[in-house]
Chains A and B, each alone.
Chain A
Amino acid sequence: KAGVTQTPRYLIKTRGQQVTLSCSPISGHRSVSWYQQTPGQGLQFLFEYFSETQRNKGNFPGRFSGRQFSNSRSEMNVSTLELGDSALYLCASSLYVNTDTQYFGPGTRLTVL
């Protein structure tokens, strides 16, 4: 079974732009979570989607948003990019919620100039 895939793998943007990252979960998985990883803050939870509904959200500003489609694929969007948004963005999928193991993708490395 193919793992979690994320596109693009690398991205360079400038301040003020917006960006959309994509995540395809493992086949059959219905829950997708997003994380941000920076050297200063480590791995931080952004949000979680299950059956196209956002279930949980971390402590990030409204510039960070996401959605999930009926095929469980998910996108996250960051508007009005800031230098501090430079990070590795990780997506994780699991079958369901609450009691299931999450499997992570390789991440998207976003650099904001």
Chain B
Amino acid sequence: DAKTTQPTSMDCAEGRAANLPCNHSTISGNEYVYWYRQIHSQGPQYIIHGLKNNETNEMASLIITEDRKSSTLILPHATLRDTAVYYCIVRVDTGNQFYFGTGTSLTVIP
């Protein structure tokens, strides 16, 4: 069962930062937060993940609150190709199954 809550949809102007929030208030101490995105029914694409500390890679930054009950994915300079459904997932610590919620449909507007 999904353990995360995300807004259904968001818009972002091209070139601006896209900030996608996620609530995971029941997260356990050893559960990771993962972000994936899916473009038009392709396979989900890994973006970033974290446990406690903020993380950054070439695609995005992940900000996790100190109490770990929420996080924000930041796409620093959104492009039209970033239009996709973004999934925030709390990884169950006993296996590889991901429980996907409904995700956030991000539309980047020219």
Q: Which residues of chain A have a CB within 8 Å of any CB of chain B?
A: 4, 31, 33, 35, 37, 42-45, 48, 50, 55-56, 58, 88, 90, 92, 94, 97-107, 109
Fill in one digit per residue for B31-63: 1 if any A CB lies within 8 Å of its CB, else 0: 010101000011111100100000000000000
Q: Which residues of chain B have a CB within 8 Å of any CB of chain A?
A: 32, 34, 36, 41-46, 49, 87, 93-103
Interface pair A58/B97, CB less than 8 Å apart: yes
Of the candidates B49, B93, B98, the one having the most CB atoms from chain A within 10 angstroms of its own CB is B98
Contacts of B98 in A (CB 8 A): 33, 35, 43, 45, 102
Query: How far is the CB of B20 from the nearest CB of chain A, in Å?
Result: 17
Contacts of A88 in B (CB 8 A): 41
Contacts of A48 in B (CB 8 A): 95-97
